[in-house]
Chain A
């Protein structure tokens, strides 16, 4: 990997994002710079409207910044053509969504290997077996999403994001649609994948429980990074959140 020496796989430099024009324009991001270190789980937190989702969309190449630059694995992505961005996604990016976004007509296993099918690559048998074991789907692999619980669906989604061993996995409120018991299980799985595979992960969340598993927690407020905490307990995260909303 190109940026192996510095340990940063995602870099943002003075990123701004404005929606709309003139009087009605909204500044979602007002100059965000950051580096995401390899093998770390980074949580991005912030109240509604803080710009945390916008930041993740821009880091992942789903949205374009109004100004500033973003690079993933050393490639500047804000000016990439659609076809090059598509290629970049295949090798470097994995996604986990709040609403799972599984394809309803495919079985769990087919959903998991879909990114490989799209990229035209083969699964590494040893890794795949290990991955399936880790997400713990067991006999549910031949079931369709409609036959799975929310937690099981999110496990499938995580396996799908991991199967191509991407440079970075982005998770958008991965527990936002799950009860707290299931949330804990999903968070444990995400932590485990970081520890076991060294999977660099960026997770957007407003859930303190989720943020507490991260190696680093970035707090966004009003389109700017306002705090940068190392690994913290759920209680510390809540304190930081309260300070933020009180300010």
Chain B
């Protein structure tokens, strides 16, 4: 019997291959995700471990609370004299101090900052190039002395720098030109992704980072016979307040914590899309199997007359599915390696270069990929397999045997509606239920969406006739007889058309959902900026989000035509026992920003002084704050700022432009190390003019990482970041659409096979090959459009529901995108028809008629 099952697959190679493709792609995505994230993870781990190589212990500044990675806020540096203290401690063989910065920008030959997406621009001190603490290897030249710099080989090659030339370096102040004396790389010869390296001697680094007389870290090597634990104990006893010590390994793990978190997120994010692709794939498989099983009804009946039991029929189909699942999962597993490469490339293309130390293929990747692929295939095969067991033996002697209706067929409509309702209920509970955590919320949303998709897919069979009539009308008009036949073909097996369309429906619903959310966010964001940003120009980093040195704004302030200029800084602080983003504003902010005050007025900006603060009304309500209420803000150094609420504002729908608590820049600059600006807004004489634009650009010449933009440019640039995220989402969802495209191909191929005789008859009575192709193509487009229409409607509804939940987004219909999606649907239909239509047209009418 097993042989019978497997031989059956070989006898239908093409159909089997098309069915398997649906699973191959989903599994490839799983395997690719694991390979990608494992590879990045290992690359980062290697980098962080490498950096701490040779350090028995690391002394660092201690923040009063855990700072989130990449917030721009770092632990305060400590007095350089601590180094002397450390050197005196028992068991210390060697100790060296250093300073570092994650935003030390190198300036390329074109005068532009070398910034690769979100990758850090690392600057650090190399106290002694020959010491065991130095993780860098010199490729060319020598270690840096005063006012000299070594840069990474990658940047040197990309930008064409030679030893002995000067290069622009910008850390906290304006650009300085330093002499390049060496090219370095990480000793472990590992790609560092888009990061750039700039190494200086200690005094130069301290000056550039504005940390004169202070240190960020001290690397310590234990003397022979001293254990790490002893060393740590001795150091802890000797170290002053505001510093901490841990082993080199623990420090490496700490360093890696932020990236590990990011990688875990990336992994779940990509796996979610793999899951969606597999879900769509399961529809394709179930549908393909249903069709083949219907076509083989007589075969099964014959086996029954030969003494085959229902169980044997079931087993033979499950064995077939198992074989397909195993083969498809294996192919998918290895295709995942290629996909991981493609994803590295994709992230690189959107400016998000990741470090890479070669692809990693873990056992877990193999186990999960194979297991998921096989289980999904088996589950998808179950329903068709059970239907096959219901073929009665007598079907062997009947012409045109068909599958008996499922026992549950009469509950289908009610059942599908109940499922859909249940789905919306789950979704509604997830969205509007009280006190749900993020994970729970996502689970309810996912479950709801899943039920809705299955419910609508089942119900779709009822919609096929009216939809095909409506969507097929143009086909019938332009396609003549072929078009009319195409429309009728799409309608003649509604269940099959519906299942085929459902796969595409899921992909399109998700794409539409994303577009709807994006349209909501974009339009609301524009509105918010219009309300708040009431001046002419803005200055941000080239990448629109990195904080930039305050000196940039100071330089711009000197430009002719500037009437008012004010910047916003941001950092982290502990407020009401929670780590929050806080912002600081300059006194002139009232001239360039307008808030809608519930309490207080525009004058608040100027009157904040040493201890004033303002908050949004939401925060005020949840912490019961009113004018005069005290708010204690703990800054990273541990100092408590006792502030008083002076104003409460009503943020625009697009969200508050400020952190939870906002105080004066004067206070911020005193309490935060290396304060930087997030945005600078400028009011100019005569508003936006070419002269003003030129004046600002000129003023920023020494700050290549800063750019001045007009209001409109600023809005577009901010939205561009969102669009980048959108593009990634679209690319990932495209996978599901491709899977559903194969589903349509598969259905059409099977249908053509089934209608061989009919096609022969049509050719015999005078239909041309061209008309045959057109007929198949129109049927394909009608099927795709049914999926498209259902998907787009579902996507808009889901999007509107989500937006209804989130009060800072307003619904806005993404009309342009929806038209594009509708066109895309037609394209999918046309593409899917190419191969089946060719096969149908190639049929020899005579042979087609002889076919048994």
**Contacts from A to B (Cβ < 8 Å):** 53, 57, 60, 62-63, 82-83, 86-87, 89-90, 93, 95, 97-99, 101, 103-106, 110, 114-115, 117-119, 160, 164, 172
Contacts and interface: CB of A to CB of B under 8 A. Distances in A.
Contacts of A93: 305, 307
B345 interface: no
B240 interface: no
A92 to B, nearest CB: 9
B852 A89 contact: no
Contacts of B116: none
B728 interface: no
B11 interface: yes
B394 A117 contact: no
Contact of B306 (A62, A89, A110): A89
A160 B396 CA distance: 15
Closest 5 CB pairs of A and B: A105-B11, A90-B307, A62-B394, A101-B302, A89-B307
B806 interface: no
Chain B CB within 10 Å, residue with most, of A86, A106, A160: A86
Given A53-B397, A89-B304, A114-B4, 6 more contacts: A97-B302, A98-B397, A103-B8, A105-B11, A114-B303, A160-B306
B7 A105 contact: yes
12 contacts: A62-B393, A86-B308, A86-B309, A87-B307, A89-B304, A95-B306, A103-B4, A104-B11, A105-B8, A105-B10, A119-B307, A160-B306
For the residues of B in contact with A, the DSSP-based class is helix
Nearest to A173: B397
B298 interface: yes
Given A89-B305, A118-B306, A97 B3 contact: no
B698 to A, nearest CB: 79
A114 B397 contact: no
B303 A118 contact: yes
B848 to A, nearest CB: 15
B568 to A, nearest CB: 72
Contacts of A115: 306-307
A106 B299 CA distance: 12
Interface in B1-37: 1, 3-4, 7-8, 10-12
Nearest to A166: B307
Nearest to B304: A86
Nearest to B396: A101
B312 interface: yes
B3 A110 contact: yes
Given A101-B298, A103-B299, A105-B11, A114 B393 contact: no
A83 B397 contact: no
A172 B397 contact: yes
Contacts of B8: 103, 105
B640 interface: no
A105 B15 CA distance: 14
Contacts of B306: 89, 95, 114-115, 118, 160
Contacts of A86: 304, 307-310
B852 A99 contact: yes
Nearest to A94: B306
Contacts of A63: 394
Interface of B: 1, 3-4, 7-8, 10-12, 298-299, 302-310, 312, 392-394, 396-397, 852
A87 B306 CA distance: 10
B305 A57 contact: no
B4 A62 contact: no
A164 B305 CA distance: 13
Nearest to B302: A101
Contact of A57 (B10, B12, B312, B394): B394
Nearest to B6: A105
Contact of A97 (B4, B304, B312, B397): B397
A247 to B, nearest CB: 28
Contacts of A164: 307
A62 B305 contact: yes
B394 A110 contact: no
B301 to A, nearest CB: 8
Contact of A106 (B7, B310, B312): B7
A28 to B, nearest CB: 13
Contacts of B1: 117-118
Contacts of B7: 105-106, 110
A57 B298 CA distance: 16
Nearest to A160: B306
B11 to A, nearest CB: 3
Nearest to A91: B307
Given A83-B309, A86-B309, A114-B4, A57 B397 contact: yes
Contacts of B11: 104-105
B7 to A, nearest CB: 4
Nearest to A106: B7
Contact of B3 (A83, A98, A117): A117
A118 B396 contact: no
B310 A82 contact: yes
Contacts of A90: 307
Contacts of A118: 1, 303, 306-308, 312
Nearest to A105: B11
Contacts of A172: 397
A62 B299 CA distance: 15
A83 B313 CA distance: 13
Contacts of A89: 304-307, 393
Nearest to B7: A105
Contact of A117 (B4, B310, B396, B397): B4
A93 B396 CA distance: 15
B376 to A, nearest CB: 26
Given A117-B1, A118-B312, A62 B397 contact: yes
A103 B303 CA distance: 9
B319 to A, nearest CB: 13
B303 to A, nearest CB: 7
A110 B394 CA distance: 23
A9 to B, nearest CB: 17
A105 B302 CA distance: 14
A15 to B, nearest CB: 16
A97 B310 contact: no
B313 to A, nearest CB: 10
Contacts of B303: 103, 114, 118
A60 to B, nearest CB: 8
